[in-house]
Amino acid sequence: DILETGYDILFFWVARMVMLGLELTDTVPFKTVYLHGLVRDKHHQKMSKSRGNVVDPLEVVEKYSADALRMTLLTGVSPG
């Protein structure tokens, strides 16, 4: 009963999921929405494959370790 997502698609995607769930099944598909923060680049732009400003996580793991990547993602991004 929980959906985890970024705040940037709250209206465009999450609201539509709720409305469609109500329309088709007469139930809300989830009761809780957890909004996570967004990972941003050095110019404070949202990281996106279409923008081409993403970092390959496998390269980060190879250079620093998986634990370092996990810790950075957990502590470096505040909840949405």
In tens, the pLDDT along 7-52 reads: 888 888 999 999 999 999 999 999 999 988 888 888 989 888 899 9
Give the three-class secondary structure for 4.
strand
- C-alpha 9/C-alpha 58 separation (Å) is 26
CA neighbor of 36 nearest in space, from 46, 51, 27: 46
CA distance 31 to 13: 15
Q: Which helix (H) or strand (E) holds 58?
A: helix 57-64
Residues 58-76 have pLDDT tens digits of 999 999 999 999 998 888 7
Residue 78 has pLDDT above 90, yes or no: no
Give counts: helices (H), strands (E), the chain: 3, 2
pTM of this prediction exceeds 0.85 = no
- In this predicted structure, what is the pLDDT of residue 80? 62
